[in-house]
Structure 1
Amino acid sequence: MSKLMINAEEVAEIMDCSVRDGYKLIKEMIDEINVKGYITRAGRVPRKYFYERTGLEDQEGAS
């Protein structure tokens, strides 16, 4: 089972950007999720939401 949450380091690796930019992307996604009324954790977003928002395919979940 893959991890449910994704952190800035993973975002940076996937998006080919700096970790700082990874944190910025996560912050944007957290703000979007909070508007919907969901509980969030600083520095992490649901992996599924990340892949939906970026339009990328989750290679770990593909079988």
Structure 2
Amino acid sequence: MQDYYIKAPEAAAILRLSEGKTYEIFRDLNKELKSQGFVTVAGRVPRAYFNKKFFGGLEEVS
């Protein structure tokens, strides 16, 4: 079972970016979520939201 949240190190590997750049992207994604009224967790983004923003909503990314 996958975690509800994706963490920056895992996302960095998927996107082939540095962890620093991934944390910067996560801050922006969390700002978007917060402006929509969601509670956010620093350094983590809901996996479904990550997939929607980067891959058009695919369930799983290899």
TM-score by length of 1: 0.86
Q: Which runs of 5+ in 2 are unaligned?
A: none
Root mean square deviation of aligned Cα = 1.4
Moved over 3 A (4+): none
- Given candidates 47, 58, 61, the residue that maps to 1:59 is 61
- The residue type paired with residue 21 of structure 1 is K
**9-18 vs 48-57, greater mean Cα deviation:** 48-57
Where 1:26 maps in the other structure, the secondary structure is helix
TM superposition shift of 1:55: 1.8
Q: Which runs of 5+ in 1 are unaligned?
A: none
Count of residue correspondences? 60
Identity of aligned residues (%): 32
Where 1:42 maps in the other structure, the secondary structure is coil
Residue in 2 aligned with 1:11? Answer: 11
TM superposition shift of 1:20: 0.3
TM superposition shift of 1:11: 1.1
